[in-house]
Amino acid sequence: MRALPYLVFLGLGTAGLGGWYKFQHLKPKTLQEYLEWQGFKLLSHSEENHWKAVLEENKDLLSKLGISTSHSGEVKSWCERNLNSESYEELVDVAPLLCVDNIRTVKGRIIQIAGDTSKLIQTGGQEANQYKVAYVFRKHIDGFHALIGYSPEVDEGKEIEDLDKAHQAFKTWCNDSLDKPINEALAQNVMALCTPKGFSTIEELIKRNGETLLTETSQSTALKEKYEKIKELDSWKNENQNSKSNEEDLKSWCDENKAKNFYDENVFSEVYPKFRFRCLKLEE
């Protein structure tokens, strides 16, 4: 009677060995077959942006393997050399990170799409100002404040502009988003919102838009007509106590304010609307 448990165990062991034999028989022959069996898409040699993303996301691993991260040539060679390997047990954790379309972060996805992140606002001397300008021109986008996690203070229905706080929240969101797990919508939002506007002053924006300033020599008649329209407005008189009472006042005001930067407080919200009304030639 004591032999029965042994016989039962032996029977199970035999079944187990049979299962192992079947697994070994069905086991993919090469690393490439294994990766495809796992559902991965192998990277082609020409998918350069994908290889760049691999380099960005796996710097530490590549360093341990002695593979250069300065260009994609070495990691491509590593994959090509190992994909036909039949002894690939030690490679099954590494190859899915290096040889297939398996990007894991938002930053990696952006590199896949654009080749790098150079179009985003970069760390450096103008970083804060670029974030401030980008913020004032994008803050009216529906859902923008909720997206970046910033709630500006409001007084009588009007935002109290605090560009120092606003740009810090914006910057934090942009930078933190890059390290988040891959998400197509988030990647697209970062590419759309975390880029510099390409200008900082009112004049630079006017030139970029191809608009005409009334201060140009050819617009002297239009400048005079505009002055006649605004000279009795309280908003004009309150700002021009020492007026010469002619269009030269308006020209001086436009010349002074066109050089103002959007990253300074209230330039976007207060100065710019007045500038457009007073200093630009209206298209008929």
For the residues 201-208, what does the mean pLDDT come to?
Answer: 98
Between 25 and 86, the higher pLDDT residue? 86
Q: What is the overall mean pLDDT for the chain?
A: 90
Together in a domain, 20 and 63: yes
Q: What would the pLDDT profile of 224-277 be if each residue is shown by its tens digit?
A: 999 999 998 988 988 876 666 789 999 999 999 999 999 999 999 999 999 999
Final residue of a structural domain among 155, 172, 193: 193
Collapsed DSSP state (helix, strand, coil) of residue 51: helix
Residue range 161-189: mean pLDDT, rounded = 98
Structure-derived torsion over alpha carbons of residues 195, 201, 204, 210, reported in degrees to the nearest 10: 100
Q: What's residue 17's pLDDT?
A: 46
CA distances (Å), origin 275, targets 137, 207, 223, 255, 269? 16, 14, 13, 10, 11
Using a pLDDT cut of 70, give the percent of the chain over it. 89
Residue 112 lies in a domain: no
**Residue 104, pLDDT above cutoff 90:** yes
Neighbours of 193 (CB within 10 A): 20
CA distances 252 to 214, 235, 242, Å, are: 11, 16, 12
Does 118 reside within a domain?
A: no
What is the predicted pLDDT for the residue at 119? 98
189 and 251 both lie in a single domain = no
pLDDT tens column, 48-88 = 999 999 999 999 999 999 999 999 999 999 999 999 999 99
pLDDT at 237: 84
pLDDT of residue 12: 42
pLDDT surpasses 50 at 7: no
- What's this model's pTM, rounded to 2 decimal places? 0.85
In a domain, 237, yes or no: yes
Question: Per-residue pLDDT tens for 118-139?
Answer: 999 999 989 999 999 999 999 9
Residue 243 resides in a domain: yes
Domain of 61 in residue numbering reads as 9-102
206 in the same domain as 187: no
Per the structure, the count of domains in the chain is 3
* 169 within a domain of the structure (yes/no): yes
Q: Are residues 16 and 92 in the same domain?
A: yes
| Inside any domain, residue 269 | yes
Asked whether residue 264 is domain-assigned, the answer is yes
The rounded percent of the chain whose pLDDT value lies above 90 is 81
